Structure 1
Amino acid sequence: MSQVQRESMEYDVVIVGAGPSGLSAAIRLKQLDPDMSVVVLEKGSEVGAHILSGAVLDPAGLDALLPDWRNMNAPIKTEVKEDNFYILGPAGKVKIPNFPMPPLMNNHGNYIVSMANVCRWMAGVAEGLGVEIFPGMSCSELVYDGDRVAGVVAGEFGLDATTGEPGPSYEPGMELRGKYVFLSEGVRGSLAKEVIAKYNLSEGHEPQKFGLGMKEIWEIDPKKHKLGTVTHTMGWPLGSNAGGGSFIYHLENNQVYVGFVVHLNYKNPHLYPYMEFQRFKHHPMVAELLEGGKRVAYGARAISEGGYQSMPKMVAPGVAMLGCSVGMVNVPRIKGNHNAMLSGKAAAEAAHAAIKAGRMGDELNDYEAEVRGGAIGKDLKKVRNVKPLWSKFGLVASLMGGGIDMWMNTFGMTIFGTLKHGKTDAASTGKAADYKVIDYPKPDGKLSFDRLTNVAFSFTNHDESQPAHLKLKDPSIPIGVNLPLYNEPAQRYCPAGVYEVLGEGADASFRINFQNCVHCKTCDIKDPSQNINWTTPMGGGGPNYPNM
């Protein structure tokens, strides 16, 4: 498609993705120079439509970006009042006291928020400063000028569903060019993947690790609601099958966020992360809370978990990657939004300084230095060994060893150095013949739900006349390789029921129901043959989250 003639528009900075990092960058650029031209391109139907996060927000990022945010009518009202942590068994629980936990695990001063609504508010702030924001504008290609990333192609429509070539109603989209391009696409973004591969940015760094986060919003009995209460659990139902845990956050309007995270380095290909989440809600502690309530929304997304040692080089000529495009989640804290905001601020300051100095399209090395040596790097370096300890030695060892290491890192010391992750999550998948099939209870329709019913509560939608945005590198692999070796795990790891195996034996076939896709990117990450490439659908498609 690179030969298509397109109109172009010139900006100082082009930002892909209206999440917390991209919007923070846009706001900071306009704070530094109101005359700077800045555009933000968002693939969702509106800002916030594709934003899903826990979320307990550490306000450090907002404090740095917008010090007066508390007086700006921000949708950040519910301060954490109670912090609970449990290890679950099949029918019971053990509470872990707060006092032995490292100080960084304390949620005092943090807020339970909808990051979708926070991003909508931030977009309003950005537009008030003169930032142009275009939702429904998927960025399908990067534009290069020699070796420099010079812009993106956005707003391409009308490709034929069968051939992928321009159809009768084809609209070529536009080239939006900038002195610098910021990629804030979230986890495993398609343009960031291209940049990382083209410029070999992962060389010398550990492979990125991921988790799959699934979340429901429930309206519960007001008598059971405890505004500002935060609860995290580990243990059952995952046990030794996989790492992960849950969160339950009590926000306004008698609602609770109920979430479940499964680390994607699990070995047993029979594991069904979505059904582990549904089974979790039948634990007595959770069932008692939810009984009599109703689920009002569902969604899922991948989470970057590799931490400090897995962050690739984040700059190349003309381009910088922000937030989850790099992987800035503090795994034990289950927090990354504050680091995303700080990364946007740092990238903006580096780009502003470069443009003011008359530079264009070079590498923003000052941004990378600030991320690794500043507040973000310090936050992530303290917890860099928790994930590899968990992966190598299990839950108990990670709690003990990771806790000791986090305490020591509080004083700038460690007994472990920096541990390695080793395999990618895809390579961690074992052969089906080596593991037992897991028997999952049938959803009851009250506390637990079948996958397709729940997907309806993500309000996802894609135009069926477009080409599938989930592309197989080799269409023969799902049935010819993944089915006999791994019992085709795409049937189970996808939290939206996108992938199906139909028939048996010689009649088996593989179906991709791309209309169901909630853009979590799990397939791109976990497929053991690395045969699935997630790309952006045409603009506006995907989930339409109300207040995730």
Structure 2
Amino acid sequence: MERESMAFDVVIVGAGPAGLSAACRLMQLAKKSEKDLSVCVIEKGAEVGSHIVSGALFEPRSLNELFPDWQSLGAPLNTQVQDDKVYWLSNQYNQLCIPSMLVPSPLHNEGNFIISLGELCRWLAQQAEALGVSIFPGFAAAELFFNNSDAVAGVMTTDMGRDKQGNEKPGFQPGIILEAKYTLIAEGSRGHLGKAVTERFELDKGKAPQHYAIGLKELWEIPTEQHQKGLVVHTAGWPLNQTHTSGGGFMYHLGENLVSVGLVVDLNYQHPYLSPFDEFQQMKHHPVFASMLDGGERLSYGARAITKGGLHALPEQSFPGGLLIGCDAGTLNSVKIKGSHTAMKSGMLAAEAVFSELAAHRSHTSPDYHALFDNSWLKEELFEARHFTSQVHRLGTFLGGAIATLEFNVLKRSLFSFRDDTPDYQTLNTTNRVEPLSYPKPDGKLSFDRASSVFLSTVKHDENQPCHLILQDKELPIKVHLDKYAEPSQRYCPAGVYEVVESGGQKRFQINAGNCIHCKTCDIKDPSQNIVWTPPEGGSGPNYNGM
């Protein structure tokens, strides 16, 4: 098939904090050196920010470097942290407020801001466009484009207008090839191009397996008398401690009576009946959350995988023709529970590495990102936090957190070395080793069902398009997983995409692809790695507002 093509110096896949920061830095360097540079950012969401969901607590360190005058430029950092509390929830009724001195120092939030990361990305996009960057929302990258030297030479976008069988519908438009001297892959956690380039160039050779969590979030408007602007609350323990699962809850008070509330569940959990969505709904009934949310209105819902393996699992980020950056690589600081500022810094370093190659009239080489990374505060941050994820996986949230407090607050060095070499998909127990879990029915006031939650994500897919969730073995969910694990996708998916339905006495596996909010959890947690997430048509998926 003949496809149109467009050529750029740099193509960036993903308009998140890493991709947009890279774009801005590239154009700043070009302007300073008086060089012409063409930079293109493509974004699979219908708009910049429409697929962005994060807590989000924001450390402005990278933004200070990228735009020192961000305040006068109107960056949406409007709510500075005023109070910072951490609770251990021992059960569904009780809690212990942990003194600040017993909280790992990286988790302290003085000087940080409570933000909507989607709004920040929209602002970064405006700055990028003002600098001359071309941004194309609604374009999903289907696959990488390689040159004759096996270097990445750009990407091809998805076809638009195919039916479920793959046939061309009226108005069909083939994907276009975006050629590039360098390609930066910044899709966010568990990006499909990131997976492909890592496998092709063995970027993770000798590294620990990557680890992930799923973060679920809701945005609420609450009564004025219950709102405490600038309050940050983190929790650990109940309900996750009932199944020895690591993770924790959060509640951040923004301006205008808004509250972000959510739960992060590590995807190395073992109980096959565990449902991160239902754990989150149950958590909101604890007095720590209910006292704030009672009488409020839920405005939005979303979920997203989080890459949190840290330095042990960080792949080689440079490859022939480009770089893997941000959460697609895994630059989150797991102790701080923050990844936006580190994603931005990785994008800025990538821009500097690529610009050096372009300035020397080179193309499709492996940019020397590693030297810049090794001499940066980003490497220093990730090095200090290198053991935390494995530590919590091996010892649990309480003991792992206690050791982290001792190391960061007292010793100022690592006391123990930890590395978790078990991939998240290999950790599930079989159903014959556990008792089923039961969750209380949602009350429609604090807790809700999946259907009403997905509605609030304003997810949209053309139903008559090829299913973007690929089963490598279509029989495996019923023939193998149903007996061994009670088919866990029914529970780990936060959007009701996967169901086991019965008709005529026969059970079958059903995929409701139109519900998908692109969290990528299925691609990570499926115990046989049987589900492969691929991008649907550009513009599909959730349309988050204020998340």
TM over 0.5: yes
**1-structure distance, mates of 2:171, 2:72:** 48
For residues 10-47 of structure 1, the C-alpha deviation after alignment (integer angstroms, 9 at most, x for no partner) is 10100000000000001011101142100000000000
Which residue does the alignment assign to 1:61? Answer: 62
Which residue does the alignment assign to 2:362? Answer: 359
Which blocks of at least 5 consecutive residues in structure 2 are unaligned?
Answer: none
Q: Which residue of 21, 44, 48 corresponds with 2:18? A: 21
Which residue does the alignment assign to 1:328? Answer: 331
**2-structure distance, mates of 1:408, 1:292:** 42
- Taking a change above 3 Å as real, the CA distance of residues 13 and 340 of structure 1, as seen in their structure-2 partners, is same
**2-structure distance, mates of 1:141, 1:95:** 49
User: CA offset at residue 392 of structure 1?
Assistant: 1.1
User: CA offset at residue 102 of structure 1?
Assistant: 3.9
User: Structure 1 counterpart of 2:336, which letter?
Assistant: R
User: CA offset at residue 288 of structure 1?
Assistant: 1.5
Which residue does the alignment assign to 1:414? Answer: 414
Which residue does the alignment assign to 1:432? Answer: 431
Is structure 2 residue 474 aligned with structure 1 residue 469? no
**2-structure distance, mates of 1:422, 1:437:** 28
- For normalisation by structure 2, the TM-score amounts to 0.97
User: Structure 2 counterpart of 1:424, which letter?
Assistant: P
Which residue does the alignment assign to 2:517? Answer: 518
Which residue does the alignment assign to 1:177? Answer: 179
User: Structure 2 counterpart of 1:377, which letter?
Assistant: K
User: Structure 2 counterpart of 1:10, which letter?
Assistant: A
SS at match of 1:335: coil
Q: Which residue of 4, 8, 12 corresponds with 1:7? A: 4
**1-structure distance, mates of 2:346, 2:296:** 39
**2-structure distance, mates of 1:6, 1:505:** 46
Alignment of 1:386-535 (within 5 A): 386-407=388-409, 410=412, 413-417=413-417, 419-503=418-502, 507-535=506-534
SS at match of 1:496: coil
Is structure 2 residue 264 aligned with structure 1 residue 265? no
**1-structure distance, mates of 2:497, 2:285:** 25
- For normalisation by structure 1, the TM-score amounts to 0.96
- Taking a change above 3 Å as real, the CA distance of residues 109 and 360 of structure 1, as seen in their structure-2 partners, is same
Is structure 2 residue 52 aligned with structure 1 residue 51? yes
- Taking a change above 3 Å as real, the CA distance of residues 368 and 167 of structure 1, as seen in their structure-2 partners, is farther
Deviation larger for 15-24 or 427-436: 427-436
> 1:305–1:327: 8 Å Cα contact kept in structure 2?
yes
User: CA offset at residue 155 of structure 1?
Assistant: 4.8
For residues 85-133 of structure 1, the C-alpha deviation after alignment (integer angstroms, 9 at most, x for no partner) is 0000221110111123343222011000000000001100100111000
Which residue does the alignment assign to 2:296? Answer: 293
SS at match of 1:358: coil
**2-structure distance, mates of 1:304, 1:369:** 23
**2-structure distance, mates of 1:355, 1:11:** 12
**1-structure distance, mates of 2:264, 2:101:** 25
Q: Which residue of 315, 323, 345 corresponds with 1:312? A: 315
SS at match of 2:19: helix
**1-structure distance, mates of 2:104, 2:252:** 21
User: CA offset at residue 358 of structure 1?
Assistant: 1.3
- Taking a change above 3 Å as real, the CA distance of residues 372 and 464 of structure 1, as seen in their structure-2 partners, is farther
Which residue does the alignment assign to 2:100? Answer: 98
For residues 206-229 of structure 1, the C-alpha deviation after alignment (integer angstroms, 9 at most, x for no partner) is 101000100000100100100000
> 2:353–2:372: 8 Å Cα contact kept in structure 1?
no
Root-mean-square deviation (CA, aligned residues, Å) is 1.3
- Taking a change above 3 Å as real, the CA distance of residues 504 and 466 of structure 1, as seen in their structure-2 partners, is closer
Which residue does the alignment assign to 2:193? Answer: 191
Which blocks of at least 5 consecutive residues in structure 1 are unaligned?
Answer: none
> 1:83–1:107: 8 Å Cα contact kept in structure 2?
yes
> 2:105–2:405: 8 Å Cα contact kept in structure 1?
no
User: CA offset at residue 240 of structure 1?
Assistant: 4.4
**2-structure distance, mates of 1:409, 1:379:** 16
Q: Which residue of 197, 203, 206 corresponds with 2:205? A: 203
> 1:385–1:405: 8 Å Cα contact kept in structure 2?
no
User: Structure 1 counterpart of 2:212, which letter?
Assistant: F
SS at match of 1:69: coil
> 1:463–1:541: 8 Å Cα contact kept in structure 2?
yes
Which residue does the alignment assign to 1:80? Answer: 81
Q: Runs (4+) of structure 1 moved beyond 6 Å?
A: none
**1-structure distance, mates of 2:462, 2:537:** 8
Q: Which residue of 104, 114, 117 corresponds with 1:115? A: 117
User: CA offset at residue 166 of structure 1?
Assistant: 4.1
Which residue does the alignment assign to 1:339? Answer: 342
Question: Aligned pairs, how many?
Answer: 540
> 1:385–1:402: 8 Å Cα contact kept in structure 2?
no
User: CA offset at residue 373 of structure 1?
Assistant: 4.2
User: CA offset at residue 371 of structure 1?
Assistant: 2.6
User: CA offset at residue 324 of structure 1?
Assistant: 0.3
User: CA offset at residue 156 of structure 1?
Assistant: 1.9
- Taking a change above 3 Å as real, the CA distance of residues 541 and 277 of structure 1, as seen in their structure-2 partners, is same
- Taking a change above 3 Å as real, the CA distance of residues 406 and 165 of structure 1, as seen in their structure-2 partners, is farther
For residues 37-91 of structure 1, the C-alpha deviation after alignment (integer angstroms, 9 at most, x for no partner) is 0000000000000000100100011011111111111111100000000000221
Deviation larger for 384-393 or 247-256: 384-393
**2-structure distance, mates of 1:493, 1:387:** 20
> 1:240–1:394: 8 Å Cα contact kept in structure 2?
no
Alignment of 1:119-268 (within 5 A): 119-146=121-148, 147-162=150-165, 164-241=166-243, 242-268=245-271
> 1:202–1:312: 8 Å Cα contact kept in structure 2?
yes
User: Structure 1 counterpart of 2:17, which letter?
Assistant: P
User: Structure 2 counterpart of 1:94, which letter?
Assistant: L
SS at match of 2:71: helix
SS at match of 1:33: helix
> 1:38–1:132: 8 Å Cα contact kept in structure 2?
yes
Deviation larger for 399-408 or 256-265: 399-408
For residues 508-530 of structure 1, the C-alpha deviation after alignment (integer angstroms, 9 at most, x for no partner) is 00000010000000000000010
**1-structure distance, mates of 2:371, 2:315:** 13
For residues 409-467 of structure 1, the C-alpha deviation after alignment (integer angstroms, 9 at most, x for no partner) is 74xx32223x2111111011111111110110000011000011111000001011110
> 1:383–1:406: 8 Å Cα contact kept in structure 2?
no
Which residue does the alignment assign to 1:279? Answer: 282
